[in-house]
Structure 1
């Protein structure tokens, strides 16, 4: 048993804080921990649990601080010993040779120069009886909560949690602990545990009731949450409903609260507590490269435009400012998203975009209008599809042309990265297909793209990461000279091959003329390593292929680039600075640099 005398533990702490005046500190070299039987792992855990050790490390070494920490350590260290299966320990905390619990509160020494924690942990206890009942069929208790296993106190709590969770998953929302007996048998060094669970009634979902005002209509909240009224209670349904409400972006916080009582028919109402997010938001971004120049982006967002949690976003972009290879590009777009239009996980959207593109291989003025649906299948898997009208007036080496298309874009994204802006493990897959029907003489066809990324941690703490990326692109159906230039592919620059000029690899038409290709392959690799603090370094190699045919056939051309980069990690992702030069191909020479936010991929 641990030793202290006098006032109760809680009252002693309160008294110390209220009565003892700040006293001068003396030099304290360290807090000494001694165990009756050496155990480095246990010693480390006890130090981590110790308020004395924390006070010393934080340089809070006044007599008042150390005395208060010593009193609290009796309970803290006892809990840590229980957590490791020691149920008959002796704890002595000596302050300059005196038991801390024996020091009168009004006679705390003015200086403390020696603190020793002496622990006789006693024998390891093991589980003997481990009875938790009743349990629903199929319930699995933790493996370490069984006879002869080390009797860690945490295993008892985990077993209780597993039992309650199993009953709740089976629809018994009010399951609780009815009775328990936890007895340490010091003669046999064993722990006997018996817990009785009261499952309560089988519960079904009642009505969803809003408990506080919101600018979002109650009918919309119920439609998005999609609580299945009348169906059997399920904690997963509650978690999914909360997640759907958060995904709208209309709320800064969401909590679904189970009703305190169950009605006679077995139904239980659910309360929804939401706090509205600020409805308006704006942001901006910038990046720069030596040849492409500066790109500026900005957006304005309204999270609840008509009271139905609609997201309305207007975004503008100006790029290639100061570019040596092309003129400036402009675009302005707007998108309205409406949640839960076809079920709780399917949103609807309409969008429009105006753009002026002055690229190395073409000049285009374009308008696009579209609508569609987006579906969230899980936290990782999403899909989007729709229909749009595209009108483009184009001028390039093939002449002046007008394209009028009806397109049917569809995309699927699987994102298993651990961090979107600075991934250290996982993978990312994105596939898109855009069939298009030509109107007013334009040819029909389809455009396909794929993007696969993989992140492999070289060391367990992810301070060194290998990253790889494969990009694929193809246009089929329409002839090269009858394909919308924006649908064709080029290579070079920050989005494909660093070290090569922006869009420098394309299809040579002869006589100095060129256009984009109908097939594209991009390969990128990076080795990322932390340096110190927020600084990290990157070595990378990129390669790109452009071909005239719809699929890769080896008749096109490759080029590549490589370089080094520095990353400065911030709360919104790393700030990126890359320097690269060409390795192969005849599309460029000289060194280029790139600055942006987030990893290159």
Structure 2
């Protein structure tokens, strides 16, 4: 009962703290609204002419009233009123033109929009004003709409000025123009743009519209569309020029672009080249310039204008947790070590500062080197070396680690890698003090469509890995595997409310728990796992000490609410179970942590402050944990 009362009190305290910080982070706040709902505070004060707006759409059976309400400036600015009646008239005139354009975009080419203010036609309002007119009196605005018929597509034709050996489809229906369907100008414009782009994709870089005739027939309420394309000359890629590269090899940039002289022109190739070049850390930006004309040899030159980043960089990060202590990381890197985009990063970190004195410190240092385009343009070579000491409560490890492998980009969203690695370690844990010499062959695939890695508000992220390992010092072998998926669901167009979820499964098969090094066993707990518990403190127990397990099932759920442009609130829950079997039996304890977080959004990413409560009983657990870091939890 006492623990429950403590948890409830801490939850209320954390919520109060977050709300207080929200209010403090809202300068001169007179009211707070969440998603348009006023929580407290007065309505905005109208300084000038207050007015009401009524919309009257004749025979509205297609939802035009809602569309007009979303478009109208009069409605959008109604809460603050107008400075005076002349300003209200000017706003109404702009609204009339805006609404007429919006109705045409819906295929209502015969629509009539009229606006009255206090029963007087808009164009007569100013003339009706007298010295006795009360400028401060509220005004009644009425928007009357005669939508007329919804125009439909009639006869349509796509033609070309000259015959060509190859041509894209010239049927308007392929581009979304279907006879009898609503004739909306945005659909027509998109179809014409797509037609021109299809001609360019067919190898005609200078294809353009030679003639277009779009006619609305008011007698039949139909729209006729006639478009004629001038293809121009077909082209292949000519010479590839690179400008703007000073430290980076121009030849390497040209090779990495994958544009081969003599291949048919296709703008999709240029898009892929830009994406590929921007993945080089030494390149800041890429501008692609197509030649002005097709040469006598039928080729078009391509120029890549690149802007380089500074080759050297350094920095540091810090993270804080009341359970796991403070961690500091410092790093130095080079983005173009030998002139062909090679990358080198050296880093060092100290963690668990403030937990168990000097004996509890964790530290690691190492270097990562990568050379792009080692086998082909999408395959990189990487090498890693690391020395580290880990000292969670469950074990103490001193280790040296080397890794050599290849990574490959299959497409912009999918990457994979395979490597060979070796680790020499000395570990003291619940099973004693032993040495391990482990050779591994790790392989992984990563699929990532997130819109922002530091603060994702949409997309999907998935990871799958398998690592066969052999402990040559103790004649043991095992296979570690991991599958993790995270998804982000926005509830509104502005993405002020996002539901984020993550599920994970891990397994180690082929050896007993004691034969697997503690560094390869599976634990839960900590800021990236189940918040509210110490780092790597959850798992099977042997002789009163956590040993880690051979499998894990875990899930996390967050509701990310952006209350103001700078402040967000995130209630969350984490859950995990760790088993000493290679597949969870669900007979082991299930650990749950929950809490609330505060986010302060910066250009680098959100600063995260999470307050978490452990909801599952565990010996020696703390009442709560506080975590501070940069970026969302996942």
Cα deviation, 1:446-488, whole Å, max 9, x if unaligned, reads 44131323437495667363624123130535x6555433222
TM-fit CA distance, 1:241:
0.6
Matched, 1:374 2:407: yes
- Tell me the equivalent position of 2:48: 27
| Cα distance change on mapping 1:211 and 1:116 into 2, 3 Å | farther
Look up the match of 1:178.
210
C-alpha RMSD of the superposition: 3.9
Q: Judge conservation of contact 1:475–1:488 (CA < 8 Å) in 2.
A: no
1:99-138 paired onto structure 2 within 5 Å: 99=123, 120-134=146-160, 136-137=168-169
C-alpha change, 1:554 and 1:77, in structure 2 (3 Å) is closer
2:293 is aligned, of 261, 265, 270, to 261
Equivalent residue number for residue 305 of structure 1: 337
TM-score, normalised with respect to structure 1: 0.81
Displacement of 1:246 in angstroms is: 1.0
Q: What are the equivalent positions in structure 2 for 1:288-299 lying under 5 Å apart?
A: 288-299=320-331
| Alpha-carbon distance between aligned partners in 2 of 1:66 and 1:279, rounded to the nearest angstrom | 57
Q: Compared with structure 1, are the counterparts of its residues 116 and 384 closer, same or farther at alpha carbon in structure 2 (3 Å cutoff)?
A: same
Distance in 1, Cα, partners of 2:500 & 2:96: 47
The number of equivalent residue pairs is 564
Q: Residues 507-526 of structure 1: matches in 2 within 5 Å?
A: 508-510=541-543, 515-517=547-549, 519-526=550-557
Shift of 1:227: 1.2
Moved more, 338-347 or 572-581: 572-581
In the TM superposition, 1:556-595 aligns within 5 A as 557-568=588-599, 570-571=601-602, 572-573=605-606, 575-584=608-617, 586-595=618-627
Q: Deviations over 1:473-509 (max 9, x none)?
A: 30535x6555433222333333333344433345555
- What do the CA deviations read for 1:206-242 (whole angstroms, capped 9, x no partner)? 2221244543221121122111321122222111111
In structure 2, what is the Cα distance between the partners aligned to 1:281 and 1:67? Answer: 57
Q: Report what 1:240 is aligned to.
A: 272
- CA distance, structure 1, for counterparts of residue 285 and residue 186 of structure 2: 31
Instruction: Please name the residue that 2:107 is paired with.
Output: 85
Would you say the 8 A contact 1:203–1:268 is kept in 2? yes
Answer whether contact 2:458 2:490 (CA < 8 A) is retained: no
Q: Is this contact kept in 1: 2:322–2:627, CA < 8 A?
A: no
Could you say what secondary structure the match of 2:606 adopts?
A: coil
Q: Aligned partners of 1:471 and 1:192: how far apart in 2?
A: 58
Gaps of 5+ in 1: 1-24, 104-110
Deviations 1:515-569 (A, max 9, x none): 444x12132242526384443342414122131x5x2374984341332222425
Cα separation, 2, equivalents of 1:480 and 1:269: 62
Q: Is the 8 A contact 1:582 1:589 kept in 2?
A: no
- 1:398 Cα deviation after fit: 4.3
Counterpart CA distance in 2 for 1:352 and 1:101 is 79
Partner of 1:473: 507
Range with greater deviation from structure 2 (84-93 or 30-39) = 30-39
Partners in 2 of 1:182 and 1:592 — Cα distance?
68
In 1, Cα distance between equivalents of 2:281 and 2:449 = 22
CA–CA separation in structure 2 for the residues paired with 1:316 and 1:67: 66
Q: Which moved more, 1:239-248 or 1:309-318?
A: 309-318
Q: 1:273 to 1:181 in 2, by over 3 A?
A: same
Paired with 1:207 and 1:58, the residues of 2 have a C-alpha distance of: 60
Contact 2:504 2:553 in 1 (8 A): yes
| TM, length-normalised to structure 2 | 0.77
Q: Secondary structure at the match of 1:157?
A: helix
Deviates more, 1:485-494 or 1:376-385: 485-494
Farther off after superposition, 81-90 or 368-377: 81-90
Instruction: Quote the Cα distance in structure 1 between the aligned partners of 2:245 and 2:86.
Output: 48
> Following the alignment from structure 1 to structure 2, what is the Cα–Cα distance between the partners of residues 211 and 79?
44
Deviation at 1:171, TM superposition (A): 2.3
- Residues 117 and 272 (structure 1), Cα distance of their counterparts in 2 relative to 1, 3 Å cut: farther
Contact 1:172 1:203 in 2 (8 A): yes
Q: Tell me if structure 2 keeps the 8 A contact 1:431–1:448.
A: no
The DSSP-based 3-state class of the residue aligned with 1:392 is strand
SS in 2 for 1:221: helix
